[in-house]
Structure 1
Amino acid sequence: MTSAPAATDHSTPIEVDAVVVGAGFSGLHLLWKLRKHGYTTIAFDKGKEVGGTWHWNRYPGARCDVDSHDYSFGFDEELEQDWEWTERYPSQPELQAYLSHVADRFDLRRDIRLETAVTEAHFDENVQKWIVRTDSGDTCIATFCLMAVGCLSVPKDVDVPGLEDYTGPIHRTSSWPEDGVDFSGLKVAAVGTGSSGVQAIPEIAKQAGRLTVLQRTANFVIPARNHELDPAYVADIKANYRERRRLSRSLPAGCIRDDNPKTAFEVSDEERRAEFEKRWEGGGIAFLGAYSDLMVDQKANDAVSDFIRAKIDEIVTDPDTADSLKPYGYPMGAKRPVVGTDWYETFNRDNVELVDLRKRPLDRFTDKGMRLADGTEYEFDAVVLATGFDAFTGAFTSMDIRGRGGRTLTEAWSEGPKTHLGLGTAGFPNMFIIANVGSPSVLANMVTAIEQHVEWTIETMDHMRDNGFTTIEATEDAQEAWVHTVEEIADTTLWPQGQSGSWYRGANIDGKPQIFMPYAGGIVLYEETWNEVRDAGYKGFVLRP
């Protein structure tokens, strides 16, 4: 096996078995696995360092919402024993340090070109290979094109009227300055109250002289209750880590969540309230496991939604602000639930104002601030945008990807992204998609979902190598059936009811085709489906010698 040419050499075409696009969790695991199985490879990533989303999202308060010991690689026992997590939910700096350590520990950097964005990937039918080009002038020729681009890696276009007229500094949570931002004493506007905004705003409020939060849609926010890890707790996890990994793979969410098998209304009102209280005080994603029917029964969801709205009244002292922070019009969980720290408490601060744009619409931003439709004007020293992502498809459509006959992926996905099992798309041979559209991805522990996908990808490549196949490609019929399956399973839940603005369906992007993109059946059913497809000779895929 040979490595790719040195990072400074852009003149010589790079010929490898597999090119990996992205060097976050997916890309790093792919590189490790590809080497283990004897494949030559190279990875490209536009960041200055490995880490993917955890490299770019450096905003204050950035943190994972899955327990640290589960949001980590399970492919190497020594790694999981050696690495020391310090908090229940790892912060961005800790996750970045972990991923950088993984890259160093396994000598992955020699096959990674950083600060290098893939601009095009074209399948050449004459040689049955992918020709991949970058903005640094690289040309790579590879049998396989492995898309480890992440689900939330491309920010959505800014749709704030007049923002182009504002002359002060604008900071996006999705590409935060490496050296941070000092907001001490400044008048700051924060636009967006999704996950990034909920995490950043309480931290910015501690510095800013005045913070004005612009909210378009209220979100259900669960307290994180983050804390430092007890050494005895860590020792117990490490002593039983293999069993913990096995158990995580046997649960739909891909992590241990202490799910309650009972339904919400098979218990008394008192018991149900006590369970919600216990979960609220415990914090984090375990709240979602309070009862088994929260995402399938509207009455059960109404109960938990009412509980959260009552909590907002308890916490927020100003009744009008509390009313604006209460989510209505969609079930809890239909938009991704947000886990935060001191979110509601932040609005009790004297230096924080909430502008509910449903009640007080924005006219436009001005050169010095903004003007509301009622004529009220604000001046700001800085603006923070936490306005979300072009989820799932954004990273794909930002590249010029062409398959058979020169057809672009954008054309192929003009009615919405279509895949077979979330792994491959008809007309794009040997292009594997890792833990993205058509798979559990964001509805599960992402790292578990990634490891699942990486294992299947390399297993399929081994099968092709061992049996003399050159290409593998999804069929049109199979991917249409899988899109139908994904929608059908979603329709048995309350998730589709959050389509008004939900990025699960692409509804947060004007003009984006409406299709439910993640697979809501969980990683266990998903793995069973894959096993059936594989054991039936890769049913729904065409393998060509």
Structure 2
Amino acid sequence: MAVLELDAIIVGAGFSGIYLLHLLRDELHLNVKILEARSDVGGVWNSNIYPGARVDCPTPVYAFDIEQVYKGWKWSQAYPSQEELQAYFRHVDQVLSVRQDCLFDSRVNEAHFNKASSRWTIQTDDGKTVIAKYLIPAVGFADKQYVPAWKGLDSFQGTIYHSSLWPRDGVDVRGKRVAVIGTGATGVQIIQEWGKEAAETLVFQRTPNLALPMKQKSLDSAAQSQMLVETPKLFDSCQSTFGGMPHADNTKAFSDYSSSEECEKMLGELYDKGGFRFWGGLADLLVNPEASRFAYEVWAKRVRARVHDPIKRDLLAPPEPPHPWGTKRPSLEQDYYEQFNRPNVQIVNTQAHPIVELTPKGIITDDKKLYEVDVIAIATGFDSSTGTLAKMGLQDLDGVDLESRWREGIISFLGMTIPGFPNMFLPYSIQSPTPLTNGPVFIKHQAKWIQSMIRKMETNGIQYIDPSQKAAQAWREEVLGIAGMTLFPQAKSWYQGANIPGKHIEQMYYLGGVPMYLKKCSAALGDEFLESFVTNEEAT
């Protein structure tokens, strides 16, 4: 097979990859291709086909902020389903001609940089070889699925699926006994569907999901026309908020309220409006234990009123918070808590009695109880951010793979560049605000920064840049330092890699918010460029 020589190679055809293809190919006029392990565009929205899969950020801003794209599209719901999002990506493909520059069914398994030629050599599992000046792994943060190493996993005689490997023709659970293991965002969405369909649904819950109401609504033609008019303004409003959401953050702290009743009223109104508004309801929610506890009590009061059975109520919204409110990403639900009012939906508390084994008939917990089921959905999440990157065979200048480099801790500069990996850029990944944001809005910021950096290099004849160890170490210290000032370390979460046995536990994401992060990025591209990066000119 012939070697493909390019200016840039992007890995992944989701939001990040497509944004960067558009910016580098259509605006900088570089020779760019996308390597995509799947057979179509759309990233996770090409594979998240489990029951109830839908986005948790609202339209029209969970989308490309590209005028020719959004002017030709109408959303049918406030929070679109996977099916609608996949149709949207087909529309994006038609407008931006994405597929013509995609190499599908090609998974990267090795990549190394040659300093003499200032080029990356990339190998794929289907035999392709690509040589490119720039390597951009746009693989997101939730692509590498995690399945616990339960004894007897292969012995189960029913059907079993991880949420990220769902069959295209679906799973019929009518009249069947089903189990959902995990109550993160995916588990919540599956439970909302299976609770209505299956003869019996067993929910295996380790930690309750402190979910918020989605307030889903359909959009008629009048609403669609109004949304199109408002879209530019809504995108603009996302620029200054902590997470790139279209609604403003509350600047008042818990102590700024004259009474607890006043604060409860405000939080209750945000809960009723739906979405993530409640998450940003207090300026000190994520740093002040008193504010966090108060928010939890307001939340629990609302949820407990929705659950009839007192045992289920205490498991879903316990009297004592399982962790500080908001230190795990809350899921958005439509009728999740009402499912537990159905006699056919039960909770198994795996915090008290963990799963120890699967048998041909079902699931056994450590109290030796067997739960017989016909179908199992594994919704145990992902080895976030580092999992996929570590398995791509990325090697530094000394031939050391990235997985080894990060075994004792992550080091990067701005979460987009890594010392020893010249000309490699990581959008929507580690040590940036990634999972605390509205993805497409934040991705645009990072894609624009990467575009600007590449333009700077091309304009000035810079063959390669490599972030300095000093700059990267300072960034690591800032990421961990900000985290240490918050309540996040008190929650055992995938934000810290704590969901993967044996993984080094540390805060993986930047908690300073999008506006502060963008200021740091702007400085590194401008006045602080020479302090932050080693270039080929300096090396010679």
User: What range describes the TM-score normalised by the shorter chain of this pair?
Assistant: over 0.9
Q: Deviations over 1:246-288 (max 9, x none)?
A: 2211222112224322222332222222222212222111121
Aligned-residue offset at 1:493: 2.2
> Is 1:129–2:119 an aligned residue pair?
yes
Equivalent residue for 2:463, pick from 462, 470, 477 = 470
Q: Which residue of 2 aligns with 1:220?
A: 210
1:117 equivalent in alignment to 2:110: no
Question: Aligned partners of 1:187, 1:257: CA distance in 2, in Å?
Answer: 41
Q: Which one is further off, 24-33 or 239-248? A: 239-248
Could you tell me whether the CA contact under 8 Å between 2:177 and 2:372 is conserved in 1?
yes
Q: Distance in 2 between matches of 1:160 and 1:220?
A: 26
**Structure 2: how far apart are the matches of 1:90 and 1:527?**
28
1:30-45 to 2 correspondence within 5 Å?
30-36=20-26, 37-45=28-36
2:243 is aligned to 253
Residue aligning to 2:444: 451
Aligned to 1:141: 131
Give runs of aligned pairs for residues 355-434 of structure 1, distance below 5 A.
355-434=348-427
User: Once the two structures are superposed, what CA deviation does each residue of 1:136-172 show, in whole Å capped at 9, x if it has no partner?
Assistant: 1111011110010001111123233432321221111
Structure 2 partner of 1:322: 313
User: Residue 5 of structure 1 aligns with which residue?
Assistant: none
Structure 2: segments with no counterpart, 5+ residues: none
Q: CA deviation at 1:45?
A: 1.2
* Aligned-residue offset at 1:242: 2.6
Deviates more, 1:188-197 or 1:124-133: 124-133
Match of 1:543 in 2: 535
Q: Shift in Å at residue 417 of structure 1?
A: 2.0
Q: Which amino acid aligns with 1:108?
A: V
- Local SS of the residue matching 1:34: helix
CA contact (8 A) 1:422 1:437 kept: yes
Deviations for 1:219-246, whole angstroms, at most 9, x for unmatched residues?
A: 2111111111254444334224333222
- How far did 1:80 drift? 1.4
1:504 counterpart SS class? helix
Q: What code does the residue aligned with 1:224 have?
A: M
Q: Percent identity?
A: 36
Superposed displacement of residue 66, structure 1: 0.8
* Match runs of 1:217-296 below 5 Å: 217-267=207-257, 268-296=259-287
Provide the aligned length of Structure 1 versus Structure 2.
532
Deviation at 1:348, TM superposition (A): 0.9
Q: Which residue of 2 aligns with 1:7?
A: none
Of the structure 1 ranges 157-166 and 429-438, higher mean CA displacement relative to structure 2 is found in: 157-166
- Shift of residue 83, structure 1, vs aligned partner: 0.8
Aligned to 1:3: none
Structure 1 runs (4+) greater than 6 angstroms displaced:
none
Matched, 1:150 2:137: no
2:534 is paired with a residue whose SS is strand
The answer to whether the aligner puts 1:165 opposite 2:158 as a matched pair is no
Give the counterpart letter for 1:471 in structure 2. Answer: Y
Instruction: Classify 1:234/1:259 alpha carbon distance in 2 versus 1 (closer, same or farther; 3 Å).
Output: farther
Counterpart contact for 1:87–1:228, Cα < 8 Å: yes
Q: Distance in 1 between matches of 2:49 and 2:354?
A: 30
Q: Is the 8 A contact 2:235 2:246 kept in 1?
A: no
Which moves more between the two structures, 323-332 or 36-45?
323-332
Q: CA deviation at 1:537?
A: 4.9
CA distance in 1, matches of 2:248, 2:34: 37
Superposed CA RMSD: 1.5
Q: TM-score, normalised by structure 2?
A: 0.95
**In structure 1, what residue type is equivalent to 2:482?**
I
43-52 or 306-315, larger mean C-alpha shift: 306-315
Q: 1:181-240: CA deviations, max 9, x gaps? A: 111111111100011001111101111111111111112111111111254444334224
CA distance in 2, matches of 1:262, 1:232: 35
Which amino acid is the alignment partner of residue 263 of structure 2?
R
| Secondary structure in structure 2 of the residue aligned to 1:141 | strand
More divergent stretch after superposition (141-150 vs 356-365): 356-365
Q: Measure the CA separation in 2 of the matches of 1:478 and 1:462.
A: 21
* 1:20 to 2:20 alignment: no
Q: Which amino acid aligns with 2:16?
A: S
Residues 56-135 of structure 1 aligned to structure 2 (within 5 Å)? 56-74=47-65, 76-135=66-125
The SS at the match of 1:84 is: coil
- 1:520 counterpart letter in structure 2: L
Q: Name which of structure 1's ranges 228-237 and 167-176 shifts more when overlaid on structure 2.
A: 228-237
Kept in 2, the 8 Å contact 1:13–1:141? The answer is yes
* TM-fit CA distance, 1:540: 1.1
The answer (yes or no) to whether the contact 1:25–1:99 under 8 Å persists in 2 is no
- Give the structure 2 partner of residue 301 of structure 1: 292
Matches of 1:349 and 1:239, distance apart in 2: 42
TM-score under structure 1 normalisation?
A: 0.95
Contact 1:257/1:289, CA 8 A, preserved across alignment: no
1:349 counterpart = 2:342: yes
- Counterparts of 1:316 and 1:69 in 2: how far apart (Å)? 33
Structure 1 residue 359 displacement after superposition: 2.9
Q: How far, CA to CA, are the matches of 2:501 and 2:366 in structure 1?
A: 22
